[in-house]
Amino acid sequence: MTHAATDPFVRVRGAAEHNLRNIDVDIPRDAVVAFTGVSGSGKSSLAFGTLYAEAQRRYFESVAPYARRLLQQVGVPHVGGITGLPPAVALQQRRGAPSSRSSVGTITTLSNLVRMLYSRAGTYPRGATRLEADAFSPNTAAGACPRCHGLGVVHDVAEDLLVPDTSLSVREGAIAAWPGAWQGANLRSVVSGLGIDIDLPWRRLRKKDRDWLLYTDEQPSVLVRPERDRVDYGYQGTFWSARKHVMHVLADSKSQQMRDRALRFVRSVDCPVCHGAGLRPEALAVTFAGRSVADVNAMPLTEVAELLRPVAELPHPTAATPTARSGETTEVAVRISADLVARTQVLLDLGLGYLSLGRRSTTLSPGEAQRLRIATQLRSGLFGVVYVLDEPSAGLHPADTEPLLDVLDRLKAAGNSLFVVEHDMDVVRRADWVVDIGPGAGDGGGRVLYSGPVPGLEQAGESATGRYLFGRERAAARAPRQPQGWLRLRGVRRHNLHDIAADIPLGVLTAVTGVSGSGKSTLVSQVLAGVVREHLGTAPAEGDEVEAGVDVDVREVSGLDPLDRLVRVDQRPIGRTPRSNLATYTGLFDAVRKVYAATDEAKARGYTAGRFSFNVPQGRCETCQGEGFVEVELLFLPGTYAPCPTCHGGRYNARTLEVTYRGRTVADVLAMSVDDAAGFLGEVPAAARSLRTLREVGLGYLRLGQPATELSGGEAQRIKLATELQRARRGHALYLLDEPTVGLHPADVELLLRQLHQLVEAGNTVVLVEHDLDAVATADWVVDLGPGGGDAGGRVVAAGPPAEVAGAGTGVTAPYLARRLS
Ligand code: ADP
Ligand code: ADP
Ligand code: ZN
Ligand code: ZN
C-alpha cells in the first residue's frame, strides 16, 4: 500500500469504456456519490462498466489466476488506471432469474434465524424430541413435506377442466383430457368393453362411474372387439383414467406441446398434507408465541416484529435446558428474537413491512428485491467496500425515498462508499458528491461535466441535470382533458384489494399512484389487463403477470366496449439473445435488406433480401452463425459474450459485404446510430418513419444493431413505444405502462410524456403506474391507492385531476403532489 491508502479519493484515469471519452475523474470514498446524466450518457459505463468491473477483475485475479484467461476473452474495462479502489459489491436491479425457491426470508437470511428460534426455543408437543433447524426448512430433505416435496402446492386435475361440457357422452369426447385420434378411440372402446355406457351424456352417468373414469389408478385390460370396416381382429386395450393420463404426460412426455396441452387440465392447489407450508407435520406441530413456523412465514413483517418484541424485551430469561418442552422464556429465545426484531426493523423502515418471509422472490418487483438486498447488507458487517447501486429509488413513492436515504447513510456511517446511478433529483440533492456525465447520449455524451459537491453543479452550464436539480426547468402546466367515457370496475378482489371499486377514465392519461405495496401493479397489470384481455378474447402474452390457476376476481365491469386493443409497454427485454436488436424488433431492418437487394450488384449476383439477414446461412458468418458474438462459459458470469474471432462482430460473410449501398455495407448500417442512419436512409420512407419515432423517444444515440442483451429496461421500453407509435392505427387502444420513467433522466421523462400524450391525442387511453411527480403532474387523472402498503392499503383514497387530488389532502401522495404543483 502506497499513499493510496490515505488518499481519500478513487482516481480514475483514461476511462474509455463504451462511449466514455478517455475521461479522468476523482471520486471520494466514504461518501454517497450520485452518478447522473441523461439516458445513454455513460453513467453506467462509468459506475458499473468501469469502477465495478475493475474491482471485480482484481477480485477474480486474486482468487482465481485462471480467470485471467477468461477475462481476456470478455475484455477488461477500458481504462488507463484506477487508484484507491476498494472492493466493490454491486446491487443491481435486474440480476438473472431468481430461483422460485428463494423467498424474502432466504434473501434476507431472516429465515435462518426463525428456524433456529423454533429449533432451540419453540414449544414442542409432549413426547416430541427437539428438531434441528434444518427441519423447519422446506428446502431441505429433513424438512420438506413428503407429499409436495416442499413446494407447498401440488398439481391436480379438476373435473370441470377434464370435462368442460357435461352434455356430451364419452363417445362424443366428454373427457377432453384424453388424447385424440386413435388412442382416444381406443380408450372409448375399452370403456365400452368395461360395461359403461359411452352414449349417455356425461352428467347422467353415475357419480361412481364418473369418478372412476376420471381418477382411478386401476388399469384393467379388456379385449376390444373389432369395429366394422376397421381391423378385423380383436386386441387387448388398457384403460387409463383421465388423471393418470394427464399425470403421465406431465411426468414423462418430452413434447412441450403435449405438456402444454396437459397443463390445461390441472390446477395447482394447496398441498393437502402441509396445507401449503411445504413442511413436515412434525415441524408444523412446533409453536412459538402460539404460532407455527408456517404462520410466521405467512405474516406481514410488521406483525412478526410485534409478535417477537415482547420476547426480545423479556426482563429475566432463564437458562435453556435441552429436554424442556418449551424454551420460550430462555436466554436463547430472547437473543434470537432481539436479533430478528432488529433486522426486521430495517425492512420496516424501508417501507417493506407488508411483505411476508414466505413471499416468493419471483413475485417481487425489482425495486423490492433491491431494497431487501440493501437492507441485508446493513447487517453483513462489511466495511471499506463500495456499493454500486442502480437507481435505488426505482419503484419508490416519494414517501418511501426518505427511509431509503437513511439506510444509505447508515451504510456510509459503517465505513463504506455508496456509488449510486440515480435520476431522482431528491436523492441526488441528498448526496455528498455528484458526478454528472453528458451532455448528450452515446457519442454526444461520455464526458464528465461536473464532479464535486452538489451545489456546484448549478454552475455547470452544459448540464441537463443542473437545470432540473435546481428547479430551473420543469414541464409546463396543462389543463386536464375531459374523459370520453369510463371503465368501471366493481367488487375487485386480488391480493390486498378487498372488494373495491375503481373507475378509469377513457380517452385520457391516468396515473395510478401510492406507496410501495399499496396495490398499484395488482390493479393495473393484473386486474385491468385481465378484464380487458378477457373482453377482447386475447390470450396473455409471454411474461404477462397471470398466476396459474388464479382468475382475476371482479364482480362487475362496464365501459369496455370502446376498447379494441390492449398494449402493454413494459421494461422486459425486446429479446433474450444478441440475435434480436433494435432494427429487427422495429421492422426497420426489413426495409434495409430490401434496399440492399435492390442494388445492381445484388441483382447481378442474384442476392435476395434474405441474403442480407444475419440469420440466413447464405449471408451470415458461419463461425458465430450471424450473432457477431460467441458465448463464453464463465463460472462467475453466466451468459457472457465475446466478439466473434472471424467477423469481429460484423455478423456477415465476406461475399455478402461486397455489396454496398451509397458506399456502405449492410454491416456498416447495423453499426450506425439511429441519428446517423436517419441521414443515410433518408430516402427510404419505410426506414425513415421508424427512425423518426426512435429519435422522438430520445433513442437517437442507439446503434441499429445493438443487441437486445445490451439494452437497459428503459431503452427496451422506449423501443416498444416507438414501434407502437410508428404503426399509424385507427381504433381505441388501452396502453398500460408500469413505471415508464424508471431509468430515465428528467429530460428523458419529458420526451416520453410528450409521446404518451400523443397517443392520447390520437384517441387512445393511457394508464401508468407512476411515482415520478413530473409525470403524475401532467396526467389528466390520478387514482391514488393506499393509504399504506399491504393490508394497510388496497383502497382508492383519492381520485381526480392532479390539482384536485393534491388539494383533497387524503392519502400519502397529496402533499408531494401539492408541492410539485405549487
Ligand atoms: P447511462 O447509464 O448513462 O444510461 P450507459 O453507460 O448505459 O448510459 O451507455 C452509454 C453508451 O454506451 C450508450 O451509447 C450505450 O448505447 C452504449 N453501451 C451501453 N452498453 C454497451 C455495451 N455492452 N456495448 C456497447 N455499447 C454499450
Ligand atoms: P404496488 O404495485 O403498489 O407496489 P402490489 O400490487 O405489487 O403493490 O402489491 C399489493 C399487495 O399485494 C402487497 O401486499 C403485496 O405484497 C401483495 N402481492 C403482490 N403480488 C403478490 C403475489 N404475487 N403474491 C402474493 N401477494 C402479492
Ligand atoms: Zn406438502
Ligand atoms: Zn462471426
- DSSP string across 233-290: S-EEEE---HHHHHHHHHHH---HHHHHHHHTTEEEEE-TTTTTS-B-HHHHT-EETT
For residue 111, give the H/E element and its range.
helix 110-121
* Residue 220: cis peptide before it, omega within 30 degrees of 0: no
To which residue does cell 422522438 refer? 696
For residue 597, give the H/E element and its range.
helix 588-597
Percent of the chain with pLDDT over 70: 92
Q: Which runs of E-coded beta strand occur in 336-426?
A: 386-390, 417-421
* Residue 28: cis peptide before it, omega within 30 degrees of 0: no
Residues with CB under 5 A from ligand 4 (ion): 621, 623-624, 644, 646-647
Least Cα distance to 143 among 276, 289, 284 occurs for 284
Cα angle: 710, vertex 619, 650; to 5 degrees: 40
For residue 5, the model assigns a pLDDT of 58
To which residue does cell 459506475 refer? 47
For residue 713, the model assigns a pLDDT of 76
| Residues 56, 136 within the same domain | no
Cα angle: 802, vertex 803, 804; to 5 degrees: 90
Name the least confident of 312-321, 334-343, 575-584, 699-708: 575-584
Asked if the model's pLDDT at residue 807 lies above 50, the reply is yes
Q: Is the CB of 581 under 6 A from ligand 1?
A: no
Asked if the model's pLDDT at residue 550 lies above 70, the reply is no
For residue 671, the model assigns a pLDDT of 93
Q: Is the CB of 611 under 6 A from ligand 2?
A: no
Which residue among 644, 678, 710 closes a domain? 710
User: What gap in Å lies between CA 113 and CA 364, rounded to an integer?
Assistant: 22
Question: HEC profile for 422-472?
Answer: CCCHHHHHHCCEEEEEECCCHHHCCEEEEEECHHHHHHCCCCHHHHHHCCC
Asked if the model's pLDDT at residue 97 lies above 70, the reply is no
Q: Is the CB of 442 under 6 A from ligand 1?
A: yes
Q: Is the CB of 519 under 6 A from ligand 1?
A: no
In a domain, 719, yes or no: no
Asked if the model's pLDDT at residue 637 lies above 70, the reply is no
Q: Is the CB of 19 under 6 A from ligand 1?
A: yes
CA distances from 733 to 312, 524, 783 (A): 55, 15, 20
| Residues 161, 57 within the same domain | no
3-state secondary structure of 816: helix
User: What gap in Å lies between CA 690 and CA 596, rounded to an integer?
Assistant: 18
pLDDT band at 648 (very low <50, low <70, confident <90, very high): confident
pLDDT band at 662 (very low <50, low <70, confident <90, very high): very high
User: What gap in Å lies between CA 174 and CA 176, rounded to an integer?
Assistant: 6
CA dihedral sign, ordered 809, 812, 816, 817: negative
Q: Are 688 and 679 in contact (CB under 8 A)?
A: no
Please report, for the domain that includes residue 137, its CATH number: 1.20.1580.10
| Residues 145, 159 within the same domain | no
Asked if the model's pLDDT at residue 756 lies above 80, the reply is yes
pLDDT band at 68 (very low <50, low <70, confident <90, very high): low
Domain of residue 321: give its range.
104-149+279-349
In a domain, 420, yes or no: yes
63: CB partners within 8 A, 6+ apart:
none
- What's the first-to-final CA gap in the chain, in angstroms? 54
For residue 100, the model assigns a pLDDT of 61
User: Average pLDDT for residues 267-285, to the nearest whole number?
Assistant: 91
| Residues 162, 247 within the same domain | yes
Across 142-151, 175-184, 528-537, 777-786, the highest mean pLDDT is recorded for 777-786
For residue 2, the model assigns a pLDDT of 45
CA of 431 to the centre of ligand 4 (A): 45
Residue 426 grid cell: 431528491
3-state secondary structure of 232: coil
Cα angle: 745, vertex 748, 750; to 5 degrees: 115
Q: Are 535 and 732 in contact (CB under 8 A)?
A: no
In a domain, 768, yes or no: yes
In a domain, 476, yes or no: no
Helices first, then strands: H and E counts in the chain: 31, 26
In a domain, 628, yes or no: yes
Please report, for the domain that includes residue 456, its CATH number: 3.40.50.300
pLDDT digits (tens, 9 = 90+) for 25-49: 999 999 999 999 998 899 999 999 9
Q: Is the CB of 443 under 6 A from ligand 1?
A: no
Q: Are 162 and 175 in contact (CB under 8 A)?
A: yes
Cα angle: 675, vertex 677, 682; to 5 degrees: 105
| Nearest CA residue ID for atom 1, ligand 1 | 40
| Residues 145, 161 within the same domain | no
Across 297-306, 355-364, 562-571, 696-705, the highest mean pLDDT is recorded for 297-306
User: Average pLDDT for residues 232-259, to the nearest whole number?
Assistant: 83
Q: Is the CB of 693 under 6 A from ligand 1?
A: no
For residue 544, the model assigns a pLDDT of 54
User: Average pLDDT for residues 332-350, to the nearest whole number?
Assistant: 94
The packing angle between helices 366-378 and 398-413, to 10°, is 30
CA of 280 to the centre of ligand 3 (A): 7
For residue 590, give the H/E element and its range.
helix 588-597
To which residue does cell 393490508 refer? 791
User: Please, what's the b/e burial string for 78-116 (b: 16 or more CB within 10 A of its CB; e: otherwise)?
Assistant: bbeebebbbebbbbbbeeeebeeebbbbbbbebbebbbb
For residue 743, the model assigns a pLDDT of 82
Percent of the chain with pLDDT over 90: 56
User: What gap in Å lies between CA 811 and CA 782, rounded to an integer?
Assistant: 12
For residue 181, the model assigns a pLDDT of 72
| Residues 783, 754 within the same domain | yes
For residue 65, the model assigns a pLDDT of 63
In a domain, 359, yes or no: no
In a domain, 358, yes or no: no
Asked if the model's pLDDT at residue 473 lies above 70, the reply is no
For residue 537, the model assigns a pLDDT of 82
Q: How many domains, in total, are found in the chain? A: 5
| Residues 703, 793 within the same domain | no
User: What gap in Å lies between CA 171 and CA 201, rounded to an integer?
Assistant: 9
Asked if the model's pLDDT at residue 215 lies above 60, the reply is yes
ipTM: 0.94
Which of 359, 492, 495, 500 is the pocket-test mutation for ligand 2 (most atoms within 8 Å of CB)? 495
Name the least confident of 220-229, 526-535, 681-690, 703-712: 220-229
Name the least confident of 3-7, 9-13, 337-341, 798-802: 3-7
Q: Is the CB of 39 under 6 A from ligand 1?
A: yes
Name the least confident of 54-68, 188-202, 329-343, 436-450: 54-68
For residue 439, the model assigns a pLDDT of 94
User: What gap in Å lies between CA 168 and CA 184, rounded to an integer?
Assistant: 15
| Residues 460, 376 within the same domain | yes
- DSSP string across 641-660: EEE-TTTTT--B-TTGGG--
In a domain, 722, yes or no: no
User: What gap in Å lies between CA 715 and CA 752, rounded to an integer?
Assistant: 11
CA of 293 to the centre of ligand 3 (A): 14
Q: Are 269 and 220 in contact (CB under 8 A)?
A: no
CA distances from 752 to 225, 633, 741, 756 (A): 70, 38, 8, 6
649: CB partners within 8 A, 6+ apart:
628, 629, 643
Q: Is the CB of 726 under 6 A from ligand 1?
A: no
User: What gap in Å lies between CA 366 and CA 89, rounded to an integer?
Assistant: 17
| Residues 166, 244 within the same domain | yes
pLDDT digits (tens, 9 = 90+) for 669-703: 999 999 999 999 999 999 999 999 999 888 999 99
CA dihedral sign, ordered 572, 575, 576, 581: negative
Higher pLDDT: 353 or 364? It is 353
User: What gap in Å lies between CA 374 and CA 636, rounded to an integer?
Assistant: 21
Which residue among 246, 270, 294 closes a domain? 270
Q: Say what the pTM is.
A: 0.81
CA of 710 to the centre of ligand 1 (A): 8
pLDDT digits (tens, 9 = 90+) for 603-636: 999 999 999 999 888 999 999 888 887 776 554 4
Mean per-residue pLDDT of the chain: 88
Please tell me the number of the ligand nearest to residue 518's CA.
2
200: CB partners within 8 A, 6+ apart:
169, 170
User: What gap in Å lies between CA 788 and CA 793, rounded to an integer?
Assistant: 4
Please report, for the domain that includes residue 211, its CATH number: 1.10.8.280
| Nearest CA residue ID for atom 14, ligand 2 | 790
CA of 442 to the centre of ligand 1 (A): 7
User: Average pLDDT for residues 463-485, to the nearest whole number?
Assistant: 84
| Residues 591, 701 within the same domain | yes
| Residues 455, 491 within the same domain | no
- The residues that bridge with 556 in the sheet, in sequence order, are 490
Name the least confident of 134-143, 148-157, 474-483: 474-483
User: Average pLDDT for residues 417-440, to the nearest whole number?
Assistant: 94
| Residues 77, 124 within the same domain | no
Asked if the model's pLDDT at residue 292 lies above 90, the reply is yes
Which residue among 317, 349, 381 closes a domain? 349
pLDDT band at 1 (very low <50, low <70, confident <90, very high): very low
User: What gap in Å lies between CA 364 and CA 516, rounded to an integer?
Assistant: 11
Count the Cβ atoms, other than its own, within 10 Å of residue 439.
Answer: 19
Backbone angles phi, psi at 777, to 5 degrees: -65, -30
Tallying the residues shown for the chain, one arrives at 822
